[in-house]
Amino acid sequence: MGIANNLLQIKSTLPEHVTLVAVSKTKPVSDLMEAYEAGQRIFGENKIQEMAEKWQQMPKDIQWHMIGHVQTNKVKFMAPFVSLIHGVDSLKLLQEINKQALKNNRIIDCLLQIYIAEEETKFGLDEEELASLLSSSEFHEMKNIRIVGLMGMATFTDNKDQIKKEFLHLKTIFNKTKEPKTENCQLETISMGMSGDYQLAIECGSTMVRIGSSIFGGRN
């Protein structure tokens, strides 16, 4: 077994249009390097400080994805290098990302997180909040962010029908929202699916899966 084998095994099963984010949170740089040596270039982390430390230590052709809940006051620490922020769930957060991106003279790609689960602990916008964010004048004025897709997390359950229903809900919202494309809103990506449910997510339209434990092993 081992990290490289796990990674290559999973990659061989993914359709070509699906991007693999290797979720490396809590894992040491040596583990990430094993995946890197096996060809992986996209890593997902859920804590900004941990991601920044790994970014400093690792090769610069890695794309770093922030997959966790983002606190507004920490955006500045990742703005110089983050390649995609998955969990954007408010206009206020988007405004801060836009501001920090401008300071760094770049455009930062973001996904809007949609609330699809029945668990109250999960974050995200509902369909109405998504529509009102995208139609607001504040949003249209932002020139240093680009919304490139949507992200969602299904309920933590063994009930496949429930998970499927939630994934299809996200796909439906995506289809309704993807036109018209504008300068800062070009929906292409649906980020859904983790170790336990990524095959189902792909069947339901996912184009980006976030896989941690099936590659790196369990976390404490």
Ligand X SMILES: *Cc1c(COP(=O)(O)O)cnc(C)c1O
Nearest to 24 by CA among 87, 76, 67: 67
Q: Is the peptide bond before 15 cis (omega within 30 degrees of 0)?
A: no
Binder to ligand X among 46, 98, 206, 207 (CB under 6 A)? 46
> 101 in helix, strand or coil?
helix
Residue 211 binds to ligand X (criterion: CB under 6 A): yes
β-partners of residue 109 are 84, 146
Q: How far is the CB of 135 from ligand X (least distance, A)?
A: 27
Name which of 25 and 146 has its Cβ closer to ligand X: 25
Nearest to 85 by CA among 21, 181, 141: 21
Residue 208 binds to ligand X (criterion: CB under 6 A): no
Name which of 48 and 142 has its Cβ closer to ligand X: 48
Burial of 119 (0-12, 13-18, 19+ CB in 10 A): exposed
Name which of 68 and 149 has its Cβ closer to ligand X: 68
Binder to ligand X among 3, 32, 67, 85 (CB under 6 A)? 67
Identity of residue 148: V
* DSSP 3-state percent helix, strand, coil across the chain (nearest 5): 40, 20, 35
Binder to ligand X among 194, 201, 202, 204 (CB under 6 A)? 194
Residue 152 binds to ligand X (criterion: CB under 6 A): no
Q: How far is the CB of 69 from ligand X (least distance, A)?
A: 9
Name which of 93 and 142 has its Cβ closer to ligand X: 93
- Answer for the pair 54, 74: CB distance below 8 angstroms, yes or no: no
Question: Interface residues with ligand X (CB under 6 A)?
Answer: 23, 25, 46, 67-68, 153, 194-196, 210-214
